[in-house]
Structure 1
Amino acid sequence: MKAMILAAGKGERLRPLTLHTPKPLVRAGGVPLIEYHIRALAGAGFTELVINHAWLGQQLETYLGNGARFGVRIAWSPESEPLETGGGIQHALPLLGAQPFVVVNGDIWCEFDFARLRAPAPGLAHLVLVDNPAHHPQGDFALVDGQVSDPLAPAPRLTYSGIAVLHPRLFEGCAPGAFKLAPLLRRAMAHGQVSGERFAGRWVDVGTHERLAEVETVLSERP
């Protein structure tokens, strides 16, 4: 089973750190954010990784290389311009193959055990959801009996963590170019094709200096 790390964002809210450094290489606890993912994926048995990039992407390739020093093999999916989440994944499908794969946002920090995602999941997608953070109180999707939905009526919602298992069939009919992932997920939800789970452990969407400082605090408290 392969895994893809999404690393093409510019990280504008983390300027000036990201003016000359791609967001996934911003450090927390002295370690680039993306390195935490690579080590966690490798520890969970994922040895075939795909990483996309756009803004300052060559720095990522220079730092990570082919992944050998982490015990993985990295295939690179460069984008001449950012393709957003959906477009970036579709662009990388030739590297990912015909089987379901894990996808993780490169700009989050978490203690999620990726080995939990190695078991086959039915449907077109399996989402990891978290409790709504202060900056996203309305949440994204509802989770009931292991099924994820986007109900029209107000309902308790959780936040999409940026971690999922996706099937390549989710992207059938999509034209090349930039597009978001969420509409594809909602279409699959309408057909009962999206399962999910709630992760109650530590998770931070590192989108601002304040949240980067939050990760630094968590890491400093580790034994």
Structure 2
Amino acid sequence: MNLPALVLCAGLGTRLQPLSLVRAKPALPVAGTPLITRILRWLESAGVSRVVVNLHHRADSITRLVGDGSRHGLKVRYSWEAEILGSAGGPARAIPLLEADRFLIVNGDMITNVDLNALAAAHVDTNALVTMAVIDGRDGYNGVIADHRGIVSGFGTAPGASHFIGVQVVNASVFAGVDVRTKSETVHGIYPSLIAGRPEAIRVFHSNADYFDIGSVPDYLSTAMAIAGRERVPLDRGRDGKVAATAVLTDTILWDRVSIGAGARLTQCVVADDVVVPAGAEFSRASLVMRENRIVATPF
């Protein structure tokens, strides 16, 4: 794999709030390993050696984990966005750092094992400008409409639409006219225009790969539970925390420096950094964060 990769990590993670107010979404722990670390390991295993990560929200939570990439066998550079530039503006701004005519774009909020080398080969074979990795359609979200040849005609909900999993190979020329000073999008922006000008510009790459989306708190918890079960590891218990012997935790994730008091009962909760759960407290299906020295529980 001689393609560099751009990992999109600049988003606010709005659907994951309040957790994403504490850490950027790619920095969330998943069964003992941060999401961004899982993505970088997967890229390295496919032969990727150069990565650019775009940053905006809670950038420090990502850079602490990634550094210069050497711990993952990669060379990592950062594309800083003072204002979020979107799924088209972000790549356009990162192109000088990528230093390639063709590159991977990977969303920073998912886990997959799609074959990147096969994806890259398909992109070259079809002479496409964009090749999007898809799986069988789910609920219409991230829907891609393509014919039997894999040529994309549009996006949205439709019978037989496939589900885009946030992994694609693109030619740098696709972003040639994008203003890097303002926000712009791909699927809901430049891609429809690309299709209008060249009907065979965008193709799909069908895959049976595993795919886990971490778009919302329920998605995050269910993904963490699935990965923990598959890898036979416990759900995250964080670092430097204290859990009373009589506390009962069921399907619950703890981040760092968490304190759980005696007799507390937590069921299907995510407890963010530095939260102190008092003795006897009970929470179910809630995100717990600290605000002004008090615990704030947000149901999900």
Per-residue deviation, 1:47? 0.5
Q: State how many pairs are aligned.
A: 222
8 Å CA contact retained: 1:142, 1:150: yes
The aligned runs of 1:127-138 (5 Å cut-off) are: 127-134=132-139, 136=140
| Counterpart pick for 1:163 among 164, 167, 182 | 167
| Counterpart pick for 2:206 among 185, 198, 208 | 198
TM superposition score normalised by structure 1 = 0.91
Per-residue deviation, 1:48? 0.3
2:177 alignment partner in structure 1: 173
Per-residue deviation, 1:200? 1.9
Q: Is 1:108 equivalent to 2:121 in the alignment?
A: no
1:95 alignment partner in structure 2: 97
**Structure 2: which 5+ residue stretches go unaligned?**
232-300
Q: Deviation string for 1:21-48 (max 9, x for gaps)?
A: 1110011112111111100000000010
Q: Deviation string for 1:93-137 (max 9, x for gaps)?
A: 111124110001001111222232342521211111122234x35
Query: Is the partner of 2:38 in helix, strand or coil?
Result: helix
Query: Is the partner of 2:209 in helix, strand or coil?
Result: coil
Greater RCO (Cα-Cα under 8 Å, separation 6 or more): 1
**Structure 1: which 5+ residue stretches go unaligned?**
none
Residues 71/103 of structure 1: CA separation in 2 closer, same or farther (3 Å cut): same
2:20 alignment partner in structure 1: 18
2:128 alignment partner in structure 1: 123
1:34 alignment partner in structure 2: 36
8 Å CA contact retained: 1:127, 1:195: yes
Per-residue deviation, 1:19? 1.3
Query: Is the partner of 1:81 in helix, strand or coil?
Result: coil
Give the 4+ runs in structure 1 shifted more than 6 A: none
Task: Tell me how far apart the structure 2 counterparts of residues 159 and 79 of structure 1 sit (CA, whole Å).
Answer: 28
Q: CA RMSD in A?
A: 2.1
TM superposition score normalised by structure 2 = 0.69
8 Å CA contact retained: 2:143, 2:157: no
Task: Tell me how far apart the structure 1 counterparts of residues 156 and 111 of structure 2 sit (CA, whole Å).
Answer: 31
Higher mean C-alpha displacement, 33-42 vs 137-146: 137-146
8 Å CA contact retained: 2:106, 2:168: yes
* Percent identical residues: 27
Task: Tell me how far apart the structure 2 counterparts of residues 155 and 222 of structure 1 sit (CA, whole Å).
Answer: 32
2:270 alignment partner in structure 1: none
Query: Is the partner of 2:20 in helix, strand or coil?
Result: coil
Larger fraction in strand: 2
For 2:205, the aligned partner's letter is: E
Task: Tell me how far apart the structure 2 counterparts of residues 222 and 132 of structure 1 sit (CA, whole Å).
Answer: 23
Per-residue deviation, 1:49? 0.2
